Structure 1
Amino acid sequence: MGKAKHLNLTDVIHRALIVNPGDVEPLVNYLGMDRKTLSFEKGQLHKTAEALAKYLQEMGSNDIATFFRGGGVEYTEVVLDVAEKLGAKDARDDKTVEENEGIILRKLFADALDQMSVGERRQLFSSMGIRETEIPYGSAGTILVQLLLKNFGGFATYRISLIVANMVARTLLGSGLSFATNAALTRTIGTLLGPIGWAASAAWLVVDLAGPAYRKTVPAVVHVAMLRQMLMNRINIGVVGHGSTGKDSLVKAVFGVDTGNVHPVAGSTVDAKIYELGTSGAVHLVNYPGFNDASKDVDERVLDMLPYTDVFLMVVDLSRGVSGLDVSTLDSLKEFGRPILVCLNKADLPRPKDREALLQAARDRLQGVEMVETAFDPDPRLGVNAPMNCRAVYEWVLQRVSEDGKETSHIPKSEHV
């Protein structure tokens, strides 16, 4: 498995701002920054991210250290300082900032579990999809956290980050987090926290946040850790192709989502529609009807998804043959350096004598990428009664995403896979 790309503090905040500035609002509140000094307008987001990162690093040092250093400390040092304050003993300077953030999240979650009754634990774990027979309800919180890691792998830290960050927000800001552009994520948090009342209680936060700096850095680091987990676990699947090639049929046949019955999420435009896949809130599919024109009217969120798309599924109508527009589209996709699978769709339509010639032409004109023959919405009159090669497409996506170091268990699939 590959290793996910490292994001520094400014990167995390900047990309989160692009996805939805509202997701960064709690960080601004924790730090107590003057909003008049920050701009959330297009073209200003990176500058705002730099200002937030700089202020957080300044808060991570005490007045004397700031005086002698002439500024703040490195964010890695801030994280280690917070870990020490919280008693997260496994955090060390030879680990990555992502690893140390995860240790902090799991420590806080274990502390929260220790404050819960057996009944509350049962409700929480049930809402996370873990069978009750597997839950040692009377065990220490650290053991229960290990159980989560066993069941969900790296995705467990993502789920934990949502819960812990929401608990901190309820405790310190008086209300939970709201993900306006991500209904699935909001539902996930509601499912995990809704059945029980412990999340609104401050009893779990036993650490003494002595001094104004800790009252800022502890919740800020928790929130940044959650934003990082959201970015690291966010999977963007790009579906590219021109009119009537079968992109919507692909989404339904492979991932089980009927785009005719599902509204695109915020950030969608005429040229690019974004759909939530599954219930995790971490998987998005971006449908680009005319890729060469996709950048004309799309908003900044969609433009961000292009370079950060994990895989591209390019749909070509094999029965019509490969066009010059298909070739130029593929050339544009290659510039992003991401895995591409060309789905030669409607492979059930050509006559046998024409099919091989069309396939060879596709191989000759669309070189340097993997291909698969598909029929996402076959014509039963031609003897094909079920979508063809859906499993091959789905497994290709899983393999390529996992090679990038991301968890894939939450990517939904249809009955045809």
Structure 2
Amino acid sequence: MSTDHKKYQSVLDDHDLFPMLEQATTKEKKLISTVIAEKISSNIESSCTNSMKIGRELQLMGGNSAVNLFRGDGVKYKELAYDAAKKVRAKVKSNDSIETIEWELLTTLVKKAVEKMNEQDKEQFFAELEESTGQAFNWKNVAMDQLFKIGVPGAAGIYLALAEIAIPQILRALGITAAVGFIGGRAAAAAIPVVGWGLAIGSIFQSMAGTAYSVTIPCTAYLGAIRARINANSVAAEIFGDL
């Protein structure tokens, strides 16, 4: 076994991370690399698209989080995702699926932000979400904690819509403005500062300056969006592949 192969063995063995990175688009990989490269300790450039290098850096960031500070090595993606989800006080268990952990992390961030929005911000947010998903959200009459309990955690359409709206705001709150440009499309317009988002997302990350959570939290949310897209494409191929 080559030295290079040994170096990345933990990434190659990470079945929740490496296969997904291999299926990610160049644009998606560059966004993750841009977020990681913001850390002084990073060993990759923002232009990196090598799945093994991206995966290794992300695992190392997970190993440098507050919970794993003295471990001195990287951790598997599911462990760092669970740690990130617990950091934002998402209701997750260690034996939850990776899809559930990613979904709970993202929706917890969204719920915390919505709770701090004024009525105008909420109207704008849910109008865009309903337009993107074709689903009505009874946000005026349903407790926020129940709003995204839609049956299947991380249902692709809703996950992707939430990610498109929320992730640019998370990146801006962390000062990673260079990464916002990689999102593109409707999300770029959604990235215009909104008072509700700015206060809410900003307050969530106030205690995370200088820690690896400023990488693992947004990356977990974004990787969930990539996973949702890949899963949706797989289902569509199975249904329509022979037509």
What interval of TM-score do these two structures reach, taking the shorter chain for normalisation? 0.7 to 0.9
Query: 1:227/1:110 Cα in 2 relative to 1: closer, same or farther (>3 Å)?
Result: same
Query: 1:104/1:340 Cα in 2 relative to 1: closer, same or farther (>3 Å)?
Result: same
- SS class of match (1:64): coil
* Aligned twin of 1:204: 201
* Aligned twin of 2:70: 64
- Note if contact 2:117-2:196 (Cα within 8 Å) is conserved in structure 1: no
- Note if contact 1:124-1:196 (Cα within 8 Å) is conserved in structure 2: no
Q: Which protein has the larger Cα radius of gyration, Structure 1 or Structure 2?
A: 1
- Note if contact 2:21-2:51 (Cα within 8 Å) is conserved in structure 1: yes
* Aligned twin of 1:223: 222
Residue 95 of structure 1 pairs with residue 99 of structure 2: no
- Note if contact 1:109-1:164 (Cα within 8 Å) is conserved in structure 2: yes
- 1:207-252 Cα deviation digits (max 9, x unpaired): 3215422222222222222222222233686xxxxxxxxxxxxxxx
* Aligned twin of 1:13: 21
Residue 51 of structure 1 pairs with residue 53 of structure 2: yes
Higher relative contact order (CA 8 A, sep 6+): 2
Q: 1:30 is aligned with what amino acid?
A: V
Query: 1:200/1:72 Cα in 2 relative to 1: closer, same or farther (>3 Å)?
Result: same
Matched ranges for 1:187-198 at <5 A: 187=186, 189=187, 193=190, 197-198=194-195
- Note if contact 1:168-1:219 (Cα within 8 Å) is conserved in structure 2: yes
- Note if contact 1:158-1:233 (Cα within 8 Å) is conserved in structure 2: no
Task: Give the whole-Å Cα distance in 1 for the aligned partners of 2:234 and 2:199.
Answer: 33
* Aligned twin of 1:113: 114
Which has the larger share of strand? Answer: 1
- Note if contact 2:33-2:48 (Cα within 8 Å) is conserved in structure 1: no
In structure 1, list runs of 5 or more residues that go unmatched: 1-6, 41-47, 181-185, 238-308, 313-338, 342-417
Residue 142 of structure 1 pairs with residue 145 of structure 2: yes
Matched ranges for 1:167-316 at <5 A: 167-172=169-174, 173-174=176-177, 176-179=180-183, 186-187=185-186, 189=187, 193=190, 197-198=194-195, 201-207=198-204, 208-209=207-208, 211-234=210-233, 309-312=237-240
Task: Give the whole-Å Cα distance in 1 for the aligned partners of 2:195 and 2:162.
Answer: 15
Task: Give the whole-Å Cα distance in 1 for the aligned partners of 2:177 and 2:162.
Answer: 20
Offset of residue 145 of structure 1: 2.9
- Note if contact 2:82-2:94 (Cα within 8 Å) is conserved in structure 1: yes
Task: Give the whole-Å Cα distance in 1 for the aligned partners of 2:136 and 2:163.
Answer: 25
Q: State how many pairs are aligned.
A: 214
Task: Give the whole-Å Cα distance in 1 for the aligned partners of 2:148 and 2:193.
Answer: 18
Task: Give the whole-Å Cα distance in 2 for the aligned partners of 1:201 and 1:10.
Answer: 33
* Aligned twin of 1:250: none
Task: Give the whole-Å Cα distance in 2 for the aligned partners of 1:104 and 1:219.
Answer: 9
- Note if contact 2:103-2:159 (Cα within 8 Å) is conserved in structure 1: yes
Task: Give the whole-Å Cα distance in 2 for the aligned partners of 1:27 and 1:214.
Answer: 14
Query: 1:196/1:233 Cα in 2 relative to 1: closer, same or farther (>3 Å)?
Result: farther
Which has the larger share of helix? Answer: 2
- Note if contact 1:110-1:141 (Cα within 8 Å) is conserved in structure 2: yes
* Aligned twin of 1:291: none
Offset of residue 311 of structure 1: 4.5
Query: 1:200/1:25 Cα in 2 relative to 1: closer, same or farther (>3 Å)?
Result: farther
> Root-mean-square deviation (CA), in Å?
3.4
Offset of residue 88 of structure 1: 0.6
* Aligned twin of 2:11: none
Matched ranges for 1:124-135 at <5 A: 124-129=125-130, 135=138
In structure 2, list runs of 5 or more residues that go unmatched: 1-14
Task: Give the whole-Å Cα distance in 1 for the aligned partners of 2:77 and 2:242.
Answer: 36
Fraction of identical pairs, as percent: 19
- 1:59-79 Cα deviation digits (max 9, x unpaired): 11234212xxxx311211111
Task: Give the whole-Å Cα distance in 2 for the aligned partners of 1:52 and 1:153.
Answer: 24
Task: Give the whole-Å Cα distance in 1 for the aligned partners of 2:238 and 2:82.
Answer: 31
